[in-house]
Structure 1
């Protein structure tokens, strides 16, 4: 009986979380449909409002392949969370470029998480509360333990490739022992 109850609870939990995946809502701030919460790449890139910009921006972008060797090393063992607005001009422009770079580097898509936000830059159930999102898109790079190691917010200072090289190459400061 205990196994049946556990199975039912797991089935309910999986069904509940699956319902939130690729959720669309009528955004009260934008008065249009937007994607919210966890999303798949396929859903985002096929969402009509986003797709219209995604396809031409992805096709036109020419990544700087001279950065690829170093970027491959710096991305090793890292996961990326992309917080974006399907309504946002910067997201429509930068996310296709970022994904073209990730595709060229052959980054496993399982290492990239997509979170859609509404016009107030919120998601449901506290999904992004700890991420301190001020602008979208925000590309957050996490180590194997899930600790944030770098981020790029809204748009790059130079190019996505150059900015990734800069932010990912920064070494965390080591605490030095004080001598007596």
Structure 2
């Protein structure tokens, strides 16, 4: 009887420990100190991290100086960008991220994009994050901006926008989504 109770306690302890591990929250706003790059953000971030030193040096300047393409911003509103989720992979050490991430944030501010639909993940020079999200999303370069709807990837911008403007590339992604939804509807009817 004593052995059975002991086994039950051991199994219960393992089950409880396993449950605790699964319930662990993702660390947000992690900052690390590196030998070559100094301070670097790593993992899930909130947008307010970028207005703090040393990131504000590049973030604030690009955010303030970027002139939005208002026509494209209007299209984003019309195409309901706020109904999509955005997953953004950046490197705080990366010049392309220094350019396009603040621009994206300015665009999102302009369209009143909800923070709850935005995921920002900072990676190291090997394009790795503590949670391994870069593997799940197959991220090879930064910045990578992924547009999702209902958990399905609609499109992505990799390293730099093909049109030269983040907002124009986002419009193109949303337009493709509208067409793909219509195609899916017709496929199901046939």
- Tell me which interval the TM-score lies in, with the shorter structure as reference length: 0.7 to 0.9
- After TM superposition, the structure 1 = structure 2 runs for residues 134-145 of structure 1, keeping only pairs within 5 Å, are 134-143=140-149, 145=150
Q: Given the superposition, is the C-alpha separation of residues 59 and 140 from structure 1 closer, same or farther in structure 2, using an over 3 Å criterion?
A: same
Q: Given the superposition, is the C-alpha separation of residues 45 and 137 from structure 1 closer, same or farther in structure 2, using an over 3 Å criterion?
A: farther
In the alignment, which of 107, 130, 147 is matched to residue 101 of structure 1?
Answer: 107
Q: CA deviation at 1:128?
A: 2.4
Q: CA deviation at 1:13?
A: 7.0
Length-normalised TM-score, structure 2: 0.77
- Which 10-residue stretch deviates more, 84-93 or 158-167? 158-167
- After TM superposition, the structure 1 = structure 2 runs for residues 151-162 of structure 1, keeping only pairs within 5 Å, are 151-158=156-163, 159-162=165-168
Larger Rg belongs to = 2
Q: Given the superposition, is the C-alpha separation of residues 59 and 126 from structure 1 closer, same or farther in structure 2, using an over 3 Å criterion?
A: same
Quick one: distance in 2 between partners of 1:22 and 1:137?
18
Q: CA deviation at 1:32?
A: 2.6
Quick one: distance in 2 between partners of 1:115 and 1:13?
20
1:52-74 alpha-carbon deviations (Å, 9 max, x no partner): 11111000011011122321133
Q: CA deviation at 1:125?
A: 3.1
User: In the alignment, which residue of structure 1 is the partner of 2:3?
Assistant: none
Q: Given the superposition, is the C-alpha separation of residues 81 and 150 from structure 1 closer, same or farther in structure 2, using an over 3 Å criterion?
A: same
